[in-house]
């Protein structure tokens, strides 16, 4: 996040999160599924 904030010229990463947080919501589901698959494979 810090790199993105710097690239956008934001002085603080919290500014970036306030503006773009809605973009990360759909990624959470995908990340959760991926992590779940990793744990499923480890349990085998």
> How does pLDDT run across 11-43, given as a tens digit for each residue?
999 998 888 888 777 788 887 888 889 889 888
Retrieve residue 41's tokens: 């494979």
Domain ranges of the chain: 2-43
Contact 17, 8 (CB under 8 A): no
Q: What are phi and psi of 7, to 5 degrees?
A: -65, -35
Q: What is the C-alpha to C-alpha distance for residues 34 and 9, in angstroms, rounded to an integer?
A: 32
Counting every residue written for the chain, the total comes to: 44
Of 6, 25, 24, the C-alpha closest to 15 is: 6
Maximum Cα interatomic distance, the chain, rounded to a whole number of Å: 46
pLDDT at 9 over 90: yes
Residue 11 has a pLDDT of 93
């Amino acid at each position: 996040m810090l790199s993105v904030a710097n690239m956008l010229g934001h002085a603080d990463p919290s500014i970036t999160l306030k503006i773009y947080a809605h973009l990360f919501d759909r990624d959470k589901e995908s990340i959760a599924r991926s992590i779940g698959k990793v744990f499923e494979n480890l349990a085998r």
